[in-house]
């Protein structure tokens, strides 16, 4: 009897294992049917076709840039240590540290009620990009690619400029074709050579095509024996995309066709180094973002680090603002003049903000603040010259118009015509989404 019971359990467990394997294979087969970058029809009316995310890594000091906190009453409290003025017909308050961006004030939709779950850089940065703090999950750009595909089949749908953190461009469990393509690290090299595994200078293009055809023929034979293998199909498609990029990407990375006036506006080639901040070519990155957007790339992220001003706050904050201000303004103006801003959503912000300084007490060191900070949006159907939300008088927390990262994600997806909480992918037996189990709230007040 015992032996029979053991045999029965052994047989049953094999059956359970087979059912589980069958389920996973079914998930993969379902995913494979959608694992390409062909343009998809959005479920909802869209106000934007693409996104440019200007990621300010480290936590920009909102009270010295876009959240004006004058000193009030007799008691000293944190406030703006930079001078502010109202700008544009809208009268937006913007710091003296961002004079060029201030001239674009009437294009901005400022979110002063942002908040996040943690003041730990790595966790909040991950949550900003993927919706989760601890686990590897697909990034925002990958989710958008999955939902909409690419407008240009010769380029990735998602490009990440100037980054060394794979969490900013990972597709995680999504098919690999939705991964972001990183170009350049620390702003020093924005050339084709920095795109992994697509450049081969020792072979002419025709020979590379023959080489790839040979490899792909073996891949197809392998796939014939593993029908429905989503991972293998994604690799095959990624290799084809990589080859197509060899003809499309070099032209986009070559700025020689741009006018000298455009290069000057973006400050291309000016590697600023003030205080302790590392020199970057942020202007080139912003210009490349415009070119990629114009070419049909769905999601472009441009990263600029060094915003973690624990010491020498005033000096290093000014250095960062000096670096990014003119290129950001040039990007907004350039997109607008080319008719691209209406359907391009530009997003600016970092993983959290800073608590601010008391202007007159001599302190020059600031910490982290995830309870209240600022993002801004421009274009893509958003209101212009508009401020949403408010922090307390001391800027320590968001008190009105509060927006969590998952709400920001939901709003971005909604602008692209995607039903944020319905965009799902089945992995390990359950549905996953960017906005997490709680779901995100679309902030309809931001739309024009």
Q: Which residues pair with 84 in a beta bridge?
A: 95
The domain limits of the chain are 34-197+252-446
- Return d(Cα 341, Cα 350) in angstroms, integer: 22
Mean pLDDT to the nearest integer, 183-210? 55
- Predicted confidence (pLDDT) at residue 112 exceeds the cutoff of 70: yes
Q: For the segment 318-352, what is each residue's pLDDT rounded down to a tens digit?
A: 999 999 999 999 999 999 999 999 999 999 999 99
SS (H, E, C) 352-413: CECCCECCCCCCCCCCCECCCEEEEEECCCECCCEEECEECCCCCCEEECCEEHHHHHHHHH
Mean pLDDT to the nearest integer, 103-131? 97
Q: For the segment 277-323, what is each residue's pLDDT rounded down to a tens digit?
A: 555 688 999 999 999 999 999 999 999 988 998 889 999 999 999 99
- Predicted confidence (pLDDT) at residue 419 exceeds the cutoff of 80: yes
Contacts of residue 16, Cβ cutoff 8 Å, sequence gap at least 6? none
Lowest mean pLDDT among 112-126, 228-242, 429-443: 228-242
Please return the burial class of 247, using the count of CB atoms within 10 Å of its CB with bins 0-12, 13-18 and 19+: exposed
| DSSP per-residue letters across 245-289 | HHHHHHHHH-GGGS-HHHHHHHTTT--B--TTPPPB-HHHHHHHH
Q: For the segment 362-377, what is each residue's pLDDT rounded down to a tens digit?
A: 889 999 999 999 999 9
Q: Count of CB atoms within 10 A of residue 366's CB?
A: 24
Q: How far apart are the first and last CA of the chain?
A: 74
- Return d(Cα 293, Cα 249) in angstroms, integer: 13
What pLDDT sits at residue 200? 52
Please answer whether residues 323 and 280 qualify as being in contact, where contact means their C-beta atoms are separated by less than 8 angstroms: yes
- Predicted confidence (pLDDT) at residue 214 exceeds the cutoff of 80: no
Tell which wins on pLDDT, 4 or 445: 445
Lowest mean pLDDT among 68-72, 82-86, 437-441: 68-72
The two tokens of residue 138 are: 């697909």
- Predicted confidence (pLDDT) at residue 161 exceeds the cutoff of 50: yes
Q: Count of CB atoms within 10 A of residue 180's CB?
A: 27
pLDDT band for position 59 (cuts 50, 70, 90): very high
Mean pLDDT to the nearest integer, 420-433? 92
Mean pLDDT to the nearest integer, 387-415? 97
Query: Cα separations (Å) of 243 from 90, 149, 207, 213, 299?
Result: 48, 18, 12, 11, 20
Length of the chain: 448
Q: For the segment 25-47, what is each residue's pLDDT rounded down to a tens digit?
A: 444 444 444 467 788 888 899 99
- Predicted confidence (pLDDT) at residue 172 exceeds the cutoff of 60: yes
CATH architecture, domain defined by 34-197+252-446? 3-Layer(aba) Sandwich (3.40)
Query: Cα separations (Å) of 291 from 106, 229, 284?
Result: 23, 35, 10
- Predicted confidence (pLDDT) at residue 6 exceeds the cutoff of 60: no
Rounded to an integer, what is the distance from CA 370 to the centroid of its chain? 19
pLDDT band for position 132 (cuts 50, 70, 90): very high
- Predicted confidence (pLDDT) at residue 166 exceeds the cutoff of 90: no
Please return the burial class of 188, using the count of CB atoms within 10 Å of its CB with bins 0-12, 13-18 and 19+: middle
What pLDDT sits at residue 85? 97
- Return d(Cα 189, Cα 166) in angstroms, integer: 17
């Amino acid at each position: 009897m015992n032996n029979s019971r053991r045999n029965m359990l052994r047989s049953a467990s094999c059956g359970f294992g087979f059912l589980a394997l069958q389920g996973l294979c079914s998930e993969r087969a379902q995913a494979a049917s959608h694992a390409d970058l062909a343009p998809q029809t959005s479920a909802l009316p869209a106000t934007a076709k693409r996104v440019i995310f200007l990621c300010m890594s480290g936590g920009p000091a909102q009270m010295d840039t876009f959240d004006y906190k004058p000193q009030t009453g007799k008691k000293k409290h944190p406030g703006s240590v930079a001078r502010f003025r109202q700008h544009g017909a809208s009268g937006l308050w913007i710091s003296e540290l961002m004079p060029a961006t201030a001239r674009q004030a009437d294009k901005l939709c400022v979110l002063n009620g942002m908040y996040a779950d943690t003041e730990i850089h790595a966790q909040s940065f991950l949550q900003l990009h993927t919706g989760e703090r601890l686990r590897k999950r697909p990034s925002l750009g990958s989710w958008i690619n999955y939902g909409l595909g690419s407008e240009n089949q010769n380029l990735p749908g998602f490009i990440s400029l100037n980054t060394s953190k794979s969490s900013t461009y990972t597709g995680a469990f999504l098919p690999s074709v939705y991964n972001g393509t990183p170009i350049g690290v620390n702003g020093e090299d924005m050339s084709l050579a920095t795109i992994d595994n697509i450049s081969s200078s020792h072979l002419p293009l025709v020979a590379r095509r023959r080489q790839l055809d040979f490899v792909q023929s073996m891949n197809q034979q392998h796939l014939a024996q593993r029908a429905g293998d989503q991972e293998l199909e994604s690799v095959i498609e990624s290799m084809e995309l990589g080859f197509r990029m060899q003809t499309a990407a070099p032209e986009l990375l070559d700025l020689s066709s741009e006018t000298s006036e455009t290069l000057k506006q973006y400050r291309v080639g000016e590697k600023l180094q003030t205080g302790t901040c590392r020199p970057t070519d942020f202007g080139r990155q912003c210009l490349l973002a415009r070119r990629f957007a114009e070419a049909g790339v769905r999601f472009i992220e441009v990263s600029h680090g060094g915003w973690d001003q624990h010491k020498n706050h005033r000096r290093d904050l000014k250095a960062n603002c000096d670096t990014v201000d003119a290129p950001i303004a040039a990007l907004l103006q350039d997109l607008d003049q080319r008719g691209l801003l209406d359907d391009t959503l530009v997003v600016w912000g970092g993983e959290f903000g800073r608590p601010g300084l008391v202007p007159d007490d001599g302190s020059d060191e600031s910490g982290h603040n995830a309870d209240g900070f600022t993002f801004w949006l421009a274009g893509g159907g958003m209101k212009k010259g508009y401020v949403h939300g408010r922090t307390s008088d001391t800027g320590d927390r968001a008190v009105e118009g509060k927006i969590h990262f998952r709400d920001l994600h939901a709003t971005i997806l909604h602008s692209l015509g995607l039903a944020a909480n319905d965009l799902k992918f089945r992995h390990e037996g359950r549905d996953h989404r960017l906005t997490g189990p709680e779901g995100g709230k679309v902030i309809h007040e931001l739309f024009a």
